[in-house]
Each structure stands twice: as C-alpha cells, then as structure tokens.
Amino acid sequence: MAEPLLEVTDLAKHYPLTQGVLFKKQVSAVKAVDGVSFGLHTGETLGIVGESGCGKSTVAKMLVHLERPTAGSITYKGEDISRLSGRALKAVRRNIQMVFQDPYTSLNPRMTVGDIIGEPYEIHPEAAPKGDRRRRVQELLDVVGLNPEYVNRYPHQFSGGQRQRIGIARGLALRPEIIVADEPVSALDVSVQAQVVNLLEKLQDEFDLSYVFIAHDLSIVRHISDRVGVMYLGRIVEIGTDSEIYEHPTHPYTQALLSAVPVPDPRARAHRERIILSGDVPSPADPPSGCRFRTRCWKARERCAEEVPLLAVPEAFPSGPAAHPSACHFAAEKQVVPHVPPEEADRAGGPYEG
C-alpha cells in the first residue's frame, strides 16, 4: 500500500488543571487525547466513532491546527506539520480544511453567503484572482446543490441542511486534498442527513478528496467510511475496514457499541445479545491504569490493570477479517456475556448515546 497522505502518530492533547489565584500551580491534566495513531490515504474516508467526550473533536481540531498537540506528530506528505507556524502553516491549511458540526453557529450571521464562501480567497489571495471570486463562489454554490443567485442572502434565510451545504462549499473553496468533517450531520434532521452524506460522497469522487469523518451515528459511519477507528477515553481501541469493524469486532467496547445499534427486524432482535455496560465513563483527568476500558469490561483481569494494551493485530488472528488492530489483551477470546432480553435491554438503555 502507498504511503499515507496524512499520518498521525502518538498524538496527545492534555489540558492542565491548576489551583491557586495569584500563583497558579498545575495539579493534574485532562487527557482529552492520549496517544492516537492512524493513517489516511488518498481518496479514502476514515470514520472515527465513540461516545461523547472521548476526544474525537479534539483530534479534528489538532488536524487543522485549531489546537496545538501536547505530544505526537501529524505528518502530511512526509512532513511533520504539528509544530508549523506562519507561512508554512498557512500553506498547509490550504490543503486541509474543516466542516464544522453546527451549521447554525459556524456561519457568521453578519456576512452574506458570498462573503462566507469567498472569505478563504481573502486569506489566500493567490487561490483566485479578485475579479473572478464571485463567479467561483457561484460555482461552489451550484456544486453543493444551492442556487448560485443566493450569494447575497444571509445564513438566517436558509434551513439547517442548506447552511451545512454552505459550510461544505466554504471548505471546498481552496480545493483542499483533505476534509475533516466533525459530526457534519448530527445537528440535522434524519432526512437531511442522508442528503448531506450523499453530497459528500459525490464531492469526494468529483474532487478526489480524502475525508476524516467524525460521527456518533454508527450507521452513517459505515455507509460513508472505508475504514473505521473506535475511540474510548482519548485512545483508539480498534481500527479496521468497515466490514472488519462491523462484522468481526474484537474489542469489547466495539462489541458493546454495535450491540446497541437498533435492528428493525423484530425476529433478528429476539436472537441478538445486547451488552449493557456497568458503571460510568471514567474521568479523563484520572483515567484507570492499564486498559482504560477495564472498569466496564466483562473480560477484565489483573493484567488489564497492570499493562496498557497495544493497538495491534491479535496473535491468534494472523489472517482473516478478525486480523485487524485491537487494543485488548484478550481480543481473541470468544465474546461471553449474559443474555439480556430485548425488552430488558430497551429499559436499561445502552452503552452509547447518539
């Protein structure tokens, strides 16, 4: 396989916790992201899923330099861009753009649609001649399925789905190679979600884009992604192709997430095991020793508290669909959990809110 277009290695973001007023002293840190590694190839979509607060959005912000990493590296085309600044950073940002989660707050209400989509040309004037910018903005509106004559309208005159299309058009303005989409459909109605996801797929083929697609809806992630990474408490616990993750999960957390996905067929629901996790997600300011999932895991043993599991292919699976990286000491063991009847599982809820 060719070298990744974007490669993230041991990426970490720690937010210090201090005490004192005049003389602040750091007493600990919130480990929002703590050792994340993955690669993104040209034309590929990497989906990242996990519970709220697991660090997905923090990873997205670091990829576009809205947050500076505490440790680790972000390599783009063989160059470490995690510590860049000034003109060098500006040049990289042209090729890595972001689509934000909330279309209602990510667009300036005082700016017209034409000004919003054309703003990247003000920051990167070499990307488009000044006299040609209006035409390019209208072309972008047409590409995302909006009327080119809407350039003089304001964000409040559009629906949520239309606003997200405007945000996508802004992200495409500089013709980037990578789009980081941070839960781009979570604030939209279900029917509109499908339209936006289909648009993203169409644009990927048209502009040869690579996506880092962050979401909490497992069905949407499977639909759009080539590979999927599952995050828990600041770390990726399993990563593989969509079929490997959804049909052959090896990490207990992934298995619990997938068991909570609604199944429309009542006959299939009757024979499905639902995994109800006990306890709450630990605090990222004081994560458990060893495996961070061990406090909620039915496979946990003494080794799990003493040794951090590596994200690696289980030795018991040298080949086949289960042979993908999983951060579990006992990933090769058969899933054995108490059977929970569907009606009891529905009352108990699930391990995942989305």
DSSP states along 229-265: EEEETTEEEEEEEHHHHHHS--SHHHHHHHHTS--S-
Q: Are strands 178-182 and 210-214 parallel, antiparallel or unpaired?
A: parallel
What is the arithmetic mean of pLDDT over 192-214?
A: 94
pLDDT of residue 268: 65
pLDDT of residue 71: 95
What is the arithmetic mean of pLDDT over 8-24?
A: 88
pLDDT of 354 > 60? The answer is no
pLDDT of residue 332: 78
CA distances from 55 to 36, 48, 154 (A): 10, 10, 33
Percent of the chain residues past pLDDT 90, beyond the cut: 66
pLDDT of residue 348: 46
pLDDT of residue 191: 83
pLDDT of 120 > 60? The answer is yes
pLDDT of 342 > 60? The answer is no
CA distances from 79 to 6, 33, 45, 85 (A): 9, 22, 21, 13
Q: How far apart are CA 47 and CA 240, in angstroms?
A: 10
pLDDT of 352 > 70? The answer is no
pTM of the model: 0.88
What is the arithmetic mean of pLDDT over 257-285?
A: 79
Quick one: CA dihedral 138, 225, 227, 105, positive or negative? Answer: positive
What is the arithmetic mean of pLDDT over 167-196?
A: 92
What is the arithmetic mean of pLDDT over 264-277?
A: 72
What is the arithmetic mean of pLDDT over 79-96?
A: 92
- Mean pLDDT taken over the chain: 88
pLDDT of 51 > 70? The answer is yes
Quick one: CA dihedral 319, 322, 324, 327, positive or negative? Answer: negative
What is the arithmetic mean of pLDDT over 193-207?
A: 93
Quick one: CA dihedral 177, 182, 183, 187, positive or negative? Answer: negative
Q: How far apart are CA 140 and CA 123, in angstroms?
A: 18
pLDDT of 230 > 60? The answer is yes
pLDDT digits (tens, 9 = 90+) for 123-154: 999 998 888 999 999 999 999 999 999 999 99
pLDDT of residue 310: 93
Nearest residue to 8 via CA among 59, 61, 45: 59
pLDDT digits (tens, 9 = 90+) for 91-114: 999 999 999 988 889 999 999 999
Please report, to the nearest 10 degrees, the dihedral formed by the alpha carbons of residues 282, 288, 291, 295 taken in order.
-60
Q: What is the DSSP letter of 312?
A: B
CA 287 from centroid of its chain's CA atoms: 21
Percent of the chain residues past pLDDT 70, beyond the cut: 92
